[in-house]
């Protein structure tokens, strides 16, 4: 379908502008009323063969996950999502029905969290699908929470359970036959949940000094908190909440479940530094409000101590940064979390671009 027809198709799928949006999809730019206080903006690009594989997830799941990642960033800053713009680079083997399904996933998440899609762009791609999401959010000035505020003596809390997303990816790559644990792990990989309600609950009851979402792995995020806050952080192995499905899949693959918990990306759990005196009431409140497990996993220490892991036997070792890092020359063979095609190439290969001749004046429709 040509670009202009596809844009009109997307506009019908998304619907008209919501409250506060003056002009939505279809014009040169969206127009909206700014929030009363501070505005947030985040963006993420998702590349086929790096962030997702079409043989591992449906288009609806891919769209939902792309939006979840951005909502999670807004949550980690203490805000609420408002408006999104989506840019697609579409290869020739992606059908109109595929695009519909992708947008159903994107709009499912914006609708769930009271946000809306107000515009974007669609272009052809010579190889592979690319989804780029930019998301706006709003936050009261007194509720902004960054990575940089950790204080020595703070407690480190984490929401939910860890390792499931990585376990699901490894199960897919290995072709493990389905059972309850494998299905649960695959679901964690395909359909994560942003902790928006949990972030608001933390701020309502406690004084979060720092907060970050787990997009590249717990160890990586802990190092971000330490670096930005000029502090050290110690984690306790025995306290790490390893997802049961991760432990089960690790057992079947001969992997270390603690390594999965530390290095599994795309978990989108929250890591929060709060005063140690507020731990008990914070855990009780967040669990009551959001129904999500919250676990005390460590403490903030002096910067000279760096980031460390206390093993079950009491030994202390440096915490490896781990997780996934784009543009790093040496990819980790132990943690193929966010680069599935570095493990196994897409069996169908990248999508082929449709033949295009020289562009004539007025011939400016992609696809």
Share of the chain above pLDDT 90, in %: 75
pLDDT at residue 21 above 90?
A: no
Q: What is the model's pLDDT at position 325?
A: 59
Residue 209 reports pLDDT greater than 50: yes
Please name the residue that has the structure tokens 């193929």: 336
316 and 175 in a single domain? The answer is: yes
What pLDDT, on the 0 to 100 scale, is given for residue 13?
Answer: 73
- The reply to whether 19 and 127 lie within a common domain is yes
Tell me if 358 is assigned to some domain.
Answer: no
Instruction: Tell me, yes or no, whether 338 lies in a domain.
Output: no
**270 pLDDT more than 70:** yes
Q: Is 361 exposed, middle or buried (0-12, 13-18, 19+ CB in 10 A)?
A: exposed
* 66, pLDDT greater than 70: yes
Residue with tokens 């429709």: 365
pLDDT-based confidence at 134, cuts 50/70/90? very high
Instruction: Report d(CA 265, CA 212) in Å as an integer.
Output: 13
Residue that is written with structure tokens 């110690």 in the block: 234
- Tokens for 57? 């997830």
Joined together, the tokens standing for residue 141 give 């000035």
Q: What whole-number distance in Å separates Cα of residue 9 and Cα of residue 28?
A: 17
List the alpha helices (DSSP H) in 164-309.
164-174, 180-190, 196-205, 218-229, 244-253, 257-263, 279-290
pLDDT score of 346 more than 50: no
Q: Does 214 lie in the same domain as 297? A: yes
Q: What is the mean pLDDT of residues 107-121?
A: 95
Residue 333, in any domain of the structure: no
What is the distance between the alpha carbons of residues 171 and 59, in angstroms, rounded to a whole number?
20
Given a cut of 70, whether residue 260 has pLDDT beyond it is yes
Cα–Cα distance, 158 to 296 (Å, whole number): 7
- What is the structure's pLDDT at 3? 62
Rounded distance between C-alpha atoms, residue 41 and residue 134, angstroms: 7
Q: What is the structure's pLDDT at 54?
A: 97
Question: What does 10-40 look like in DSSP terms, one character per residue?
Answer: HHHHH-S--TTEEE-TTSSS-EEPPPSSEEE
206 Cβ partners below 8 Å, 6+ apart?
Answer: 272, 274, 275, 278, 281, 282, 285
Residue 100 lies in a domain: yes
> Looking at 114, 143, 172, which one is the last position of a domain?
143
Domain span at residue 55 reads: 3-143
Return d(Cα 187, Cα 243) in angstroms, integer: 12
3-state secondary structure of 142: helix
Same-domain check for residues 124 and 178: no
Is there a single domain that holds both residue 110 and residue 165?
no
**Does residue 120 sit in the same domain as residue 229?**
no
What pLDDT is recorded for position 8? Answer: 73
User: Confidence band (pLDDT; 50, 70, 90) for 309?
Assistant: very high
Residue 45 lies in a domain: yes
Asked if pLDDT for residue 35 goes beyond 60, the answer is yes
Q: How many domains does the chain have?
A: 2
CB 235 within 8 Å of CB 310: yes
Does the pLDDT value for residue 353 go beyond 80? no
Any domain includes 223: yes
207 domain-assigned = yes
pLDDT given at position 344: 31
Residue 190 lies in a domain: yes
Average pLDDT over residues 72-78: 98
80 three-class SS = strand
- Residue 123 · residue 88 · CB < 8 Å: yes
* Residue 139 clears pLDDT 70, i.e. is over it: yes
**Alpha carbon 253 to its chain's center:** 25
pLDDT tens digit sequence for 158-201: 999 999 999 999 999 999 999 999 999 999 999 999 999 999 99
Give CA–CA dist 234/348, Å, rounded: 44
Residues 171, 31 share a domain: no
Predicted pLDDT of residue 262: 97
Q: pLDDT tier at 327 (50, 70, 90 boundaries)?
A: low
Which string of b and e fits 351-360 if b means at least 16 CB within 10 Å? Answer: beeeeeeeee
Asked whether 195 and 270 are in contact (CB, 8 A), the reply is yes
**How far from 224 is each of 9, 146, 188, 192, 264, CA to CA, in Å?**
41, 11, 24, 22, 15
CATH code at 83?
3.30.1330.10
- pLDDT, position 302: 98
**pLDDT higher than threshold 90 for residue 336:** no
pLDDT band at 34 (very low <50, low <70, confident <90, very high): confident
| 132/234 same-domain check | no
């Amino acid at each position: 379908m040509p670009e202009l027809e596809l844009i009109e198709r997307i506009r019908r799928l998304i619907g008209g502008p919501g409250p506060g949006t003056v002009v939505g999809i279809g014009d040169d730019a969206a127009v909206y009323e700014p929030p009363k206080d501070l505005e947030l903006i985040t963006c993420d690009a998702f590349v086929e063969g790096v962030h997702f594989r079409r043989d591992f997830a449906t288009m609806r799941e891919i769209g939902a996950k792309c939006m979840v990642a951005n909502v999670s960033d807004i949550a980690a800053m203490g805000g609420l999502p408002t408006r999104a713009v989506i840019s697609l680079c579409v290869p020739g083997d992606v059908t109109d029905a595929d695009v519909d399904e992708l947008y159903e996933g994107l709009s499912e998440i914006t609708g769930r969290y009271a946000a809306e899609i107000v515009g974007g762009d669609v272009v052809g791609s010579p190889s592979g699908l690319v989804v780029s999401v930019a998301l706006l959010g709003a936050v009261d000035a007194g509720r902004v929470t960054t990575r940089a505020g950790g204080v020595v003596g703070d407690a480190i809390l984490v929401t939910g359970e860890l390792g499931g997303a990585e376990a699901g990816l490894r199960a897919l790559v290995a072709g493990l036959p389905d059972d309850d644990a494998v299905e649960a792990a695959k679901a964690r990989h395909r359909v994560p949940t942003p902790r928006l309600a949990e972030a608001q609950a933390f701020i309502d009851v406690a004084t979060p000094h720092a907060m970050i979402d787990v997009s590249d792995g717990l160890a990586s995020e802990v190092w971000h908190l330490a670096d930005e806050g000029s502090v050290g952080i110690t984690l306790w192995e025995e306290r790490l909440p390893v997802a049961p499905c991760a432990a089960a899949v690790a057992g079947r693959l001969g992997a270390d479940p603690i390594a999965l918990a530390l290095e599994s990306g795309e978990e989108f759990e929250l890591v929060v530094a709060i005063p140690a005196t507020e731990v008990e009431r914070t855990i009780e409140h967040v669990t009551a409000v959001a129904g999500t497990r919250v676990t005390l996993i460590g403490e903030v220490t002096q910067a000279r101590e760096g980031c460390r892991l206390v093993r079950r036997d009491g030994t202390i070792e440096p915490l490896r940064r781990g997780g996934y890092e784009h543009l790093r020359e040496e990819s980790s063979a132990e943690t193929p979390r966010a680069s599935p095609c570095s493990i196994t190439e897409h069996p169908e290969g990248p999508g082929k671009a449709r033949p295009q001749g020289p562009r004539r004046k007025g011939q400016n429709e992609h696809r």
